[in-house]
Chain A
C-alpha cells in the first residue's frame, strides 16, 4: 500500500486544511463577538460554522494519512512524540466543537458562548503547536540527535 500512495506528501498536503480552517473559524468567531452590533456579525458566525465543520471533516483525512504514514505509531519519541501529544487533544476537541456547534447553532447562552470561544482558542493553540512540531519533523530531522 505504501508503494502506491505517497503518504508523506498526502499527509503534508491534507494537514494544512484543518489547521487553516480552524484558525480562520476561531478568528471569525471572535470578530463576530467583537462586532456583534454590526450587520455582518451573523454572516461571520455562519462562515465560522462552515469553516469549523470543514476543518473537522478535513482532519479525518489528515489523521488517516498520518496513521498510514507512521504505520500505526500513534505516539513516538522526540518531535514525533510532541507532535502526537498535541495532535490527539486537538483532533478530539475539534470534532467535539464541530458537533456541538452544528447541534446548537445560534442557541447558545452567554456562558456557553464564552466556554465555546475558550475551547476554540485552546483547540487553535493545540493544533498550531502540533503543526509546528510536524514541520520540525521534516525540517530538522525530528528528534535526531
Chain B
C-alpha cells in the first residue's frame, strides 16, 4: 500500500511537472512570436532606421558621456559593441541600471524610448 502511493505520487509528480513545463514553453513561444510580429523593427527597413536613429539621439543624450560617442567604451564604462545579451536583457539593464555602476533610466525614458536605444545598440553588432 505504502509502495503504491509512493509510486503513484512520483508518477503524478513527473507528469504534472512535464505538463506544466510544456504549457510554459508553448505559451512563452506563442507570446514571443506575437511580440516579434508586433516589433516595429521588423515591419519595414525604414521604420527600423527611424527607430535606431531616434535611439542614437537618446544614446548621445544619456549614454555617450560614459560609454563614448561611438559606444566603444569610456574610462568608467565598457564598450557596447558586440554585446552578447538579448534585446530584452539590454532593455532591463537600461531600465534597472547596475548597482553602483550605472544609473536607472526607468523614470527618464519610456519603454518605447528604451526600445529605440536597444534598436540602436543592436546596429552596433
Asked if B78 is an interface residue, CB under 8 A from chain A, the answer is yes
Given contacts A97-B13, A141-B101, contact A73 B5 (CB under 8 A): no
Are B92 and A71 neighbours in the complex by a CB distance under 8 Å? Answer: no
Which applies to chain B's interface (DSSP): helix, strand, loop or mixed? helix
Are A145 and B83 neighbours in the complex by a CB distance under 8 Å? Answer: yes
Contact of B86 among A63, A80, A101, A102 (CB under 8 A): A80
- List A contacts of B89 (CB < 8 A): 70, 76, 78, 80, 137, 142-143
In the complex, what's the smallest C-beta–C-beta distance from B16 to chain A, in angstroms?
5
Interface residues of A in 109-145 (CB under 8 A from B): 109, 112, 137-145
- List B contacts of A145 (CB < 8 A): 78-79, 82-84
Stretch at the interface among A14-22, A25-33, A37-45, A87-95: A87-95
In the complex, what's the smallest C-beta–C-beta distance from A114 to chain B, in angstroms?
12
Stretch at the interface among B29-37, B46-54, B57-65: B29-37
Query: What are 27 residue pairs bridging A and B, where the CB atoms are less than 8 Å apart in the complex?
Result: A63-B24, A67-B27, A69-B88, A70-B86, A78-B85, A78-B89, A88-B21, A93-B17, A95-B13, A96-B17, A98-B13, A100-B12, A100-B13, A103-B8, A103-B12, A104-B6, A107-B1, A107-B2, A108-B2, A140-B98, A141-B102, A142-B89, A143-B83, A144-B78, A145-B82, A145-B83, A145-B84
Interface residues of B in 68-111 (CB under 8 A from A): 78-80, 82-86, 88-89, 92-93, 95-96, 98-99, 101-102, 110-111
- List A contacts of B80 (CB < 8 A): 144
Given contacts A108-B6, A112-B6, contact A74 B12 (CB under 8 A): no
User: Count the A residues whose beta carbon is within 8 Å of the partner chain — how many?
Assistant: 44
Given contacts A103-B12, A141-B93, contact A109 B31 (CB under 8 A): no
In the complex, what's the smallest C-beta–C-beta distance from A95 to chain B, in angstroms?
4
Are A92 and B99 neighbours in the complex by a CB distance under 8 Å? Answer: no
- List A contacts of B30 (CB < 8 A): 72
Are B31 and A95 neighbours in the complex by a CB distance under 8 Å? Answer: no
- List B contacts of A8 (CB < 8 A): 92, 95-96
Are A77 and B85 neighbours in the complex by a CB distance under 8 Å? Answer: yes
In the complex, what's the smallest C-beta–C-beta distance from A25 to chain B, in angstroms?
15
In the complex, what's the smallest C-beta–C-beta distance from A67 to chain B, in angstroms?
5
Q: Which of A76, A93, A99, A105 has the most CB of B within 10 A?
A: A99
